[in-house]
Structure 1
Amino acid sequence: MRADARSSPSTLSAAWSLWALLLGVGLLMLGNGLQGSLLGVRAAEEAFGNTVTGLVMSAYFVGFLAGSTLAPRQLRQVGHVRVFAALASITSVAILVHVLFIDPWVWAAMRLVTGFAYAGLYVVTESWLNGHAGNRLRGRLLAFYMVISYLGMGGGQLLLNAADPGGVTLFLLVSILMSLALVPILLSYTPQPDTGTPEAMSLRRLYRLAPLGTLGCLLTGIANGSVFGMGAVFATGSGLAVEQVAAFMGAFILGGALLQWPLGKLSDRTDRRLVIVAVAALATALSLAGLALDRSNVLALTLLGVLLGGTTLTLYSLLLACANDVLTPAQTVAASSSLVLALGVGAILGPLTTGLLMDAVGPAGFLWDLALIHAALVAFGGYCLLRRPAADAEEHGHYVAVPAGTAPLGATWVEEAASEPAQLELGLAEAGEATPPER
């Protein structure tokens, strides 16, 4: 057995070292899943009207764009733990303001604030994970993160039945979940990535370094925005009852959760771009096949939801890992911000493009939109595969779990690998056995 393989920990050990972060994310997504459905139902009960409700809910994405650009500056100044705690606290307060002031203008302002906070939380979490994982485990660790996210969102939908949306109980429950997300982070030692010497990373520069990851995040943002913004509209237009619509959307999330891990593991063992192209091609084929499906058949439509969710909703983590494969630790924070920005822009465009197609051709426009988006990703991914040679799977890198304070030492090991291989091997073995210092 190779020495570097022995010293490289498993995905579970890497995830366990970040258990507090992942648990916090799970609680935040549980609250976010409940919050989205709760506000939609409550807005209908308060007779806001469809147009006003749509504007209120879209304010989230306006804040999302702002948060993705401003979070890196705060990370550089105060670090990951403090930014995570501050933004989670903001979301906890914002949901309570909704129930204090039943007014669409106030709600729109709070949705903007919530979007700002969640974009920052995504930047914190994803830069934290990417700074902690080497290329060999990055796909699986990000897949683990996405599984937790989707399960949290799905669980949040189920919590809508816990109390009457017309009361205050569910609003309080969301606030409690947001506040509890802080506890594991603040009361445990969680290694943070080094942000001492961050490097600027504009979208243009990131595209030059990682074209498929950057443009792919924009395209998958469009697809995800279409799914979460117009998926229920498609299901309703196809003749499904309310509970069947919920089952269809739940099937999408379930499919995304089930396939995250195997696809992430596969991408760590081969050319990640090839996996992305194959998954996008399958999503294209499934979308086109859905056009010929009898959409009055609830079982068949739900199965289509599982398969489309397993392809559409797994692409973001694959593209995120693909982009970070070519970045240095100093670039990950700013790059995470740019990738979240691309995702947010796509999420805004998604419902708009789907709505236009559905107005033109009916509910089938939803499937046409997904087919066109994924076909574009297949075409660009194929171009990238032809233009740039594949990296050897053995050069994906090796993940080493080290406390935040020793991150520069890990970077030094990598830089000296070519000239001092024996010393590198010894250093990696020692790091793998190290335990975090007590606080």
Structure 2
Amino acid sequence: MAGALASFSALFFGIALMMAGNGLQGSLLGLRASIEGFETGVLGIVMSGYFVGFLAGSLYAPRVVSKVGHIRVFAALASLASISILVHSVFIDPWVWGGMRIVTGFCYAGLYIVCESWLNDMSDNANRGKLLSIYMVVQMGALSGGQYLLGVSDPSGANLFMLIAVLVSLAVLPLCLSASRTPDFSAPEAMSFRELFRLSPLGSAGMVLAGITNGALFGFGAVYAQRAGFTVTEISTFMAAMFLGGMLLQWPIGRMSDKMDRRLVILFVTIAAAIVATGAALIPEPAPLTMQPGGEERVIWPILAAAALFGGLSIPHYSLFTAHVNDRVPIRKMVAASSALIFLNGAGAIVGPNLAALIMGFAGPSGFFITLAGVHAVIGLMTGMRMLRRASARPTDQADFVAMPLRGTQIASQMPDGWGPDDVEEISDDDGEPAIHMLDDEDPEDEISDKGNSVIP
């Protein structure tokens, strides 16, 4: 494993630089737009542009990579991403910013696809799951660390925009100078949304709702903090706390979901997230507290603790719903299902900033956490209803949980150990009858059966 990590060091270093720039950019734009007086509704549209571009990039970038090659695509997209962030500093206009956010999202989707396909190709079945977990840690850690770059310079100036461009440009160097071979690449096959919903209604709808919460967190977290009166350093800490919480609780929650009914874990975690978000919405905006003559300290630890706990409970939903879908989808269709899940999650992420903007327009800054609490309440209600409709699978019959990055692509989704035609198996229920039949390519019927009935998770 140590040798594999050494060979991936250049790739992980490039990813860290790229994600630090991305983390800084998301918070900077939300903060700067508020400083410039963008209306809340307009700001929601601007911030959702990233997810529009990311969704488009997830669909079309693989075709470009297969025709042009990894290094050329990576260098071109990194250059375009650097240009787009600099345009923000020149033209302070919501229409320009919205367009540039779409360009940025498209570029980052392509950059992720290149990095993840490299990671997938250079790994093997023995270490793919571990490397994907490390990839998640690098991504989330760099996102968190990038938040603290907000304090390097005045957000109302152009310096931070230039810093982001430098970070993204530097991310090209480790990869372009690496001696590793470029991977073979083939775009993943597709699965219809109708088929995916038939196989896993909960997983399909849950992915949309998880996208809404992630879109709101990433696109509007800094906006909430700025309008709640946080300083730049406090905004950085607030955003970093959410990402770090998500990184730290991925494994405990995932391990728990492997040992018991996964839907019960989803229900418990999402209800807890809704309760934490509700509590955060009720916490008064931090007021200054005089600690000593001539000095003041803001009391923000309650909201920071709530942000870290909420991030830890909310961010793993992407991985939980991915694992739940894998419990229901035939082995040979998992890669195709991952592409559909990426699309559903991206569609939800587009809605997230706009929904947060709408509710904050009525409720003020607390509307941010009200939005998150409401979405998780819907997830909990939906999960409870599905549990009443069908009995649970045995924990031993479930697919293994794999910690997924917050904004990964379909390439990362196909990396977990054991995915392939050789993994076809038949899982039986307590009566010894087939509960879930993983079909191979020669089976005549393309469906999963539960004693003759269609599976409804």
2:304 pairs with 1:302: yes
Runs of 5+ in structure 1 lacking a partner? Answer: 1-9, 400-406, 419-439
Provide the rounded CA distance (Å) in 1 between the counterparts of 2:332 and 2:79: 27
State the alpha-carbon separation in 1 of the partners of residues 261 and 68 from structure 2: 36
The 5 Å alignment of 1:146-157 reads 146-157=136-147
Q: Please state if 1:320 is matched with 2:310.
A: no
2:243 counterpart residue number:
253
> In 1, distance between residues paired with 2:70 and 2:398?
29
Deviation of the 1:174 alpha carbon: 2.1
Letter in 1 for 2:197: Y
Matched residue type, 2:347:
V
Matched, 1:69 2:53: no
User: Paired residue for 2:273?
Assistant: 283
Residue 368 of structure 1 corresponds to which residue in structure 2? 370
1:264 aligns with 2:254: yes
Q: Which amino acid is 1:393 matched to?
A: T
Quick one: distance in 2 between partners of 1:205 and 1:393? Answer: 25
The worse-fitting range, judged by mean Cα deviation, of 348-357 and 289-298 is 289-298
Distance in 2 (alpha carbons) for counterparts of 1:190 and 1:417:
38
Post-superposition Cα deviations, 1:336-377, rounded to whole Å, max 9, x if no partner, equal 443232222222222333333334444443333222211221
Q: Distance in 2 between matches of 1:141 and 1:263?
A: 19
In the alignment, is residue 393 of structure 1 matched against residue 383 of structure 2?
Answer: no
DSSP 3-state at the match of 1:396: coil
Q: Which moved more, 1:168-177 or 1:110-119?
A: 168-177
Distance in 1 between residues matched to 2:54 and 2:384, nearest whole Å: 31
Distance 1:219 1:240, change over 3 A: same
Residue 109 (structure 2) aligns with: 119
Given the superposition, is the C-alpha separation of residues 144 and 215 from structure 1 closer, same or farther in structure 2, using an over 3 Å criterion? Answer: farther
Q: Which residue in 1 is equivalent to 2:340?
A: 338
* Secondary structure in 1 matching 2:322: helix
- Alpha-carbon spacing, 1:103–1:290, altered in 2? closer, same or farther (3 Å): closer
Seen in structure 2, the aligned counterparts of structure 1 residues 309 and 413 have a Cα distance that, compared at 3 Å, is closer
Change (3 A) 1:212 1:87: farther
Given that 1:136 and 1:397 are in contact with CA atoms closer than 8 Å, whether structure 2 keeps it comes out as no
Deviation at 1:219, TM superposition (A): 0.5
> Residue 359 of structure 2 is aligned with which of 349, 357, 360?
357
Question: Counterpart of 1:59 in 2: which secondary structure?
Answer: helix
Deviates more, 1:17-26 or 1:257-266: 17-26
Conservation of the 8 A alpha-carbon contact between 2:44 and 2:353: no
Distance 1:19 1:40 in 2: 32
What is the CA–CA distance in structure 2 between the aligned matches of 1:83 and 1:21, rounded to whole Å? 15
Aligned to 1:382: 384
Provide the rounded CA distance (Å) in 2 between the counterparts of 1:266 and 1:95. 41
Q: Is the 8 A contact 1:223 1:370 kept in 2?
A: yes
CA distance 1:379–1:96, change in 2 (3 Å)? same
Farther off after superposition, 32-41 or 310-319 = 32-41
**2:379 aligned partner, one-letter code:** L
Tell me, in whole angstroms, the C-alpha distance in 2 between the residues paired with 1:346 and 1:360: 21
Give the aligned residue type for 1:366.
F
Q: Structure 1: how far apart are the matches of 2:90 and 2:376?
A: 42
1:209 has 2:199 as partner: yes
Shift of 1:49: 4.0
Higher helix share: 1
Is 1:174 the counterpart of 2:164 in the alignment?
yes
Alignment of 1:134-149 (within 5 A): 138=129, 143-149=133-139
Q: State the 1:206 CA deviation.
A: 2.6
- Paired letter, 1:358: M
Going from structure 1 to structure 2, the CA distance change for 1:370 and 1:100 (only over 3 Å counts) comes to: closer
Q: Any residues of structure 2 matched to 1:86-125 within 5 Å, and which?
A: 86-99=76-89, 105-122=95-112
CA distance in 2, matches of 1:383, 1:133: 39
Q: CA RMSD in A?
A: 4.2
**SS of match in other structure, 2:144:** helix
Deviation for aligned residue 1:201? 1.7
The one-character-per-residue Cα deviations of 1:402-429 (angstroms, maximum 9, x if unpaired) are xxxxx9x9946446999xxxxxxxxxxx
The letter for the 2-side match of 1:36 is G
Q: Which residue matches 1:33?
A: 23
1:161 paired residue number:
151
- Alpha-carbon distance between aligned partners in 2 of 1:307 and 1:293, rounded to the nearest angstrom: 14
Q: What SS class does the counterpart of residue 393 from structure 2 fall into?
A: coil
How many percent of aligned residue pairs carry the same amino acid? Answer: 46
Is the contact made by 1:33 and 1:154 (CA closer than 8 Å) also made in structure 2? yes
Range with bigger deviation, 324-333 or 117-126: 324-333
Higher strand share: 2
Q: CA deviation at 1:117?
A: 1.7
**1:334–1:75 distance in 2 versus 1, CA, 3 Å:** farther
